[in-house]
């Protein structure tokens, strides 16, 4: 890639071009430069940049604005670059599925849709594949929420071409007990903190998780101990025990409401919040989203795992995941994407935005 | 200590002499040499040696044989050598209480009792203060059980001059649960091993430990979780959980009986034995022991913590702990012993063995 990116080329060729610019997390500068430079060539786009994130917005003057977002970084290269297109129309290489195919679709739409039935915001961001503190979308939410404004967002992560609506929220708490240390040969002088944790586990085992329906999608919750630790040595009555509980909650609840529910379950125990991330409403009842689901033409599903779509929730923007590529191939040495799937995504999104 | 040990000197001076020969565990050779050499000077003693353990036996031809045992090693020196006798008659230094005062009493009895109402076996052994695999008494039990034969044993560890009868046994098991891993966002695909541990903790919390009376002494048992661990990461349904349980059991039960009881408590769960050590019966109903308790003149108590007296149990010999010095000072920088207490122990044992 000595030259710039050619956004007028075929979307599969563009995907290969993007894959062949290595962009492991925190090393996205070269690719961000190319993306910015390519977009600036189009007068219908207003282009902004923050670090290695690039945002391009149309000013068509439409009533609705749709955000199409994707990360440009990849996990570390696993001896799977440069890209390779095989005879069956499959493109192999690091980042093909997760998610340079989606980014190629974004770039093609940005270049080709000089007019559309909705205003469009294209977000290309860095550092999605590493710790949240580095996440480029998180940084944009904090520094430039106005760049992200819109009525509906599509995060173009690989979903196998399915619409995955919203996502569950997640929070973790430590539920703790305390006791009094003693030599285990004289256990009556102590107070066993592990024994005191018995009701914590009993309540978890008995808990009936909610199943919440939103916009026709079902979000099954989960309340689970993910870690437990207690004890010091084989001959000491333990004075502390801590159960780490992960609550995956439906996006009908805020983080605060979810925490209240967890505190209720563990009434009488010390509950310490460790970390928390909000869910995201699917927003499928929004007209733009309904039209989107129609255009894609497959039944939407609830997204279970937490994803970056939730960051749009913080801005009040309903969001879904939709993109070419098999999500189970992400982060594998055998990562690949079918060219036909990339073209289908481009075609369906173009139809939605111009129909 | 350029010269040999003088066993005819006062017991407090002899204690100071012993303290001033450093003998941290596994560095007992010099002291063992001195002990062996001193004992060999007495024709009424048959002296044997194995490694740095020395055993001296009388051949008075009495109906009963009593074993007096003590370890000659100490914990590491904590800037508390050489010994120092203060104006209040307190001897300070590493090993004063634990247990060179007791060893000095043994040596004095060995030298002075050229005849006695019972035959006597004096055992001086190495490496009590470190991992059991190095324990000199354990080695003697395995290699030379005949050297240790007797009707009753007194282990001269510091007890503050009280007779501590027998000791509890101890065993540890891991009570384990297994499940199936899954991402915690899709917890219904997994099986939570920590939740499955709820009944283990509930049974522990509800367990009523036995209190067993033997020879007038009460042994209160204890069944306690000492460690719990489970879980892999904050977003994974755990597939294993293990509770380590320590059972301190009365010496009326064998190790096998105690393990059976624990298996009964955790019926339905995997119970894996980690380690086990038998208890020791106090043997206070034995005539030699009854006479001993009379001679000491203070009410005996049940020994709670596991001690080396249990090694005599393996040979069918009831045993007690009795010695000068405050056990709570053992292993402290401020370790010390009152000269009066050492003299009292020598006087009482002499009375018992010559009365």
- Extract the tokens encoding A232: 């010091």
According to the CATH classification, is domain B11-166+280-354 in 3.40.630.10?
yes
For residues A48 and A57, what is the distance between their CA atoms, to the nearest angstrom?
A: 9
| % of chain B surpassing 90 pLDDT | 79
List, for residues B85-129, the tens digit of each pLDDT value.
999 999 999 999 999 999 999 999 999 999 999 999 999 999 998
pLDDT score at A287: 84
With cut-offs at 50, 70 and 90, classify the pLDDT of residue B2: low
- Nearest Cα of chain A lies from the Cα of B81 at a distance, in angstroms, of 29
Determine the average pLDDT of the residues in B120-149. 94
- Does any CB of chain B come closer than 8 Å to the CB of residue A220? yes
- Nearest Cα of chain B lies from the Cα of A201 at a distance, in angstroms, of 5
Is residue A333 scored above 90 in pLDDT?
A: no
Determine the average pLDDT of the residues in B15-28. 97
Of A220, A222, A244, the CB nearest to B234: A244
Which residue in A167, A197, A306, A330 sits closest to B183, CA to CA? A306
pLDDT score at B1: 44
pLDDT score at B331: 84
Catalytic residue positions of A, numbered: 73, 128
Is residue A1 scored above 60 in pLDDT?
A: no
Residue A85 or A289, more confident: A85
For residues A154 and A73, what is the distance between their CA atoms, to the nearest angstrom?
A: 18
List, for residues B40-95, the tens digit of each pLDDT value.
999 999 999 999 999 999 999 999 999 999 999 999 998 999 999 999 999 999 99
- Extract the tokens encoding A81: 């670059």
- Does any CB of chain A come closer than 8 Å to the CB of residue B2? no
Contacts of B184 in chain A (CB under 8 A): 170, 222, 224, 226, 246, 248
For residues B277 and B138, what is the distance between their CA atoms, to the nearest angstrom?
A: 12
Which residue in A290, A197, A288, A304 sits closest to A244, CA to CA? A197
- Nearest Cα of chain A lies from the Cα of B75 at a distance, in angstroms, of 19
With cut-offs at 50, 70 and 90, classify the pLDDT of residue A136: very high
Q: Right CATH number for A169-277 from 3.40.50.150, 3.40.50.360, 1.10.40.50, 3.30.70.360?
A: 3.30.70.360
Domain residue ranges in chain A: 11-166+280-354, 169-277
Residue A170: closest CA among chain B residues belongs to which residue?
B185
Q: Is A43 exposed, middle or buried (0-12, 13-18, 19+ CB in 10 A)?
A: exposed
| % of chain B surpassing 70 pLDDT | 99
pLDDT score at B339: 98
pLDDT score at B253: 95
Is residue A264 scored above 90 in pLDDT?
A: yes
For residues B351 and B333, what is the distance between their CA atoms, to the nearest angstrom?
A: 34
List, for residues A63-81, the tens digit of each pLDDT value.
999 999 999 999 999 899 9
Q: What is the 3-state secondary structure (H, E, C) of chain A?
A: CCCCCCCCCCHHHHHHHHHCCCCECCCCHHHHHHHHHHHHCCCCEEEEEECCEEEEEECCCCCCEEEEEEECCECCCCCCCCCEECCCCEEECCCHHHHHHHHHHHHHHHHHCCCCCCEEEEEEECCCCCCHHHCHHHHHHHHCHHHHCCCEEEECCCCCCCCEECECEEEEEEEEEECECEEHHHHHHCECHHHHCHHHHHHHHHCCCCEEEECCEEEECEEEEEEEEEECCCCEECCEEEEEEEEEECCCCCHHHHHHHHHHHCCCCEEEEEEEECCECCCCCCHHHHHHHHHHCCCCEECCCCCCHHHHHCCCCCEEECCCCCHHHCCCCCCEEEHHHHHHHHHHHHHHHHC
List, for residues A270-279, the tens digit of each pLDDT value.
999 998 888 8
Residue B245: closest CA among chain A residues belongs to which residue?
A234
Q: Which of A219-228, B2-11, B20-29 has the lowest mean pLDDT?
A: B2-11
Is residue B185 scored above 90 in pLDDT?
A: no
Which residue in A79, A116, A114, A73 sits closest to A95, CA to CA? A73
**Measured torsion, CA atoms of residues A124, A125, A128, A133, in degrees rounded to the nearest 10:** -160
- Does any CB of chain B come closer than 8 Å to the CB of residue A244? yes
List, for residues A230-246, the tens digit of each pLDDT value.
998 888 899 999 999 99
Q: Which of A189, A226, A269, A327 to mutate to test the interface with B (most CBs of B within 10 A)?
A: A226
Of B186, B236, B305, the CB nearest to A226: B236
Contacts of B168 in chain A (CB under 8 A): 185
Provide the chain B residues 3-62 that lie in CB contact (below 8 A) with chain A.
none
Mean pLDDT of chain A, nearest integer: 94
With cut-offs at 50, 70 and 90, classify the pLDDT of residue B171: very high
pLDDT score at A109: 98
Answer yes or no: are the C-beta atoms of A97 and A329 closer than 8 Å. Answer: yes
Contacts of A222 in chain B (CB under 8 A): 184-188
Residue A304: closest CA among chain B residues belongs to which residue?
B185
- Does any CB of chain A come closer than 8 Å to the CB of residue B301? no
- Extract the tokens encoding A123: 């977000």
Q: Is B100 helix (H, G, I), strand (E, B) or coil?
A: helix
Determine the average pLDDT of the residues in A327-352. 93
User: ipTM value of the model?
Assistant: 0.78
List, for residues B294-309, the tens digit of each pLDDT value.
999 999 998 877 889 9
Q: What is the DSSP letter of B184?
A: G
pLDDT score at B333: 87
C-alpha distances out from residue A302 to A207, A321, B185, Å: 22, 10, 12
For residues B117 and B114, what is the distance between their CA atoms, to the nearest angstrom?
A: 11
Of A170, A198, A306, the CB nearest to B198: A198
Which residue in A273, A322, A4 sits closest to A162, CA to CA? A322
Catalytic residue positions of B, numbered: 73, 128
Of A168, A205, A305, the CB nearest to B195: A205
List, for residues B273-288, the tens digit of each pLDDT value.
998 888 888 888 888 8
Is residue A48 scored above 80 in pLDDT?
A: yes
Q: What are phi and psi of B116, to 5 degrees?
A: -160, 170
Spell out the alpha helix ranges (H) of chain B: 11-19, 29-40, 101-112, 136-143, 193-196, 198-206, 255-265, 287-296, 309-313, 339-354
């Amino acid at each position: 890639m000595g030259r710039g990116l050619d956004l007028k080329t075929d979307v599969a060729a563009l995907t290969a071009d993007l894959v062949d610019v290595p962009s492991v997390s925190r090393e996205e500068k070269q690719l961000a430069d190319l993306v910015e430079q390519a977009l600036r060539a189009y007068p219908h786009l207003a282009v902004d940049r923050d670090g290695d994130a690039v945002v391009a917005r149309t000013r068509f003057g439409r009533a609705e604005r749709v955000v199409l977002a994707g990360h440009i970084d990849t996990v570390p290269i696993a001896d799977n670059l440069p890209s390779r297109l095989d005879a069956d129309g499959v493109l192999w290489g690091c980042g093909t599925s997760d998610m340079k195919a989606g980014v190629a679709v974004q770039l093609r739409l940005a270049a080709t849709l000089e007019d559309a039935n909705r205003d469009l915001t294209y977000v290309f961001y860095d550092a999605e594949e590493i710790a949240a503190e580095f996440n480029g979308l998180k940084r944009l939410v904090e520094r430039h929420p106005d760049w992200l404004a819109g009525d509906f967002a599509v995060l173009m992560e690989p979903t196998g071409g399915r619409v995955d609506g919203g996502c569950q929220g997640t929070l973790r708490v430590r539920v703790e007990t305390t006791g009094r240390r003693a030599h285990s040969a004289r256990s009556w002088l102590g107070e066993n903190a592990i024994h005191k944790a018995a009701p914590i586990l009993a309540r978890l085992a008995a808990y009936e998780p909610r199943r919440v329906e939103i916009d026709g999608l079902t979000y099954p919750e989960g309340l689970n101990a993910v870690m437990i630790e207690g004890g010091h040595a084989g001959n000491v009555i333990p004075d502390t025990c801590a159960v780490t509980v992960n609550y995956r909650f439906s996006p009908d609840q805020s983080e605060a409401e979810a925490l209240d529910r967890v505190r209720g379950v563990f009434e009488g125990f010390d509950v310490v919040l460790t970390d928390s991330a909000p869910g995201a409403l699917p927003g499928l009842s929004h007209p733009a989203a309904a039209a989107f689901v129609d255009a894609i033409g497959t039944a939407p599903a609830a997204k279970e795992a937490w994803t970056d779509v939730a960051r749009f929730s913080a801005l009040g923007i309903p969001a879904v995941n939709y993109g070419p590529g098999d999500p189970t191939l992400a982060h594998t040495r055998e990562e690949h994407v079918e060219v036909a799937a990339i073209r289908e995504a481009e075609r369906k999104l173009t139809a939605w935005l111009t129909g």
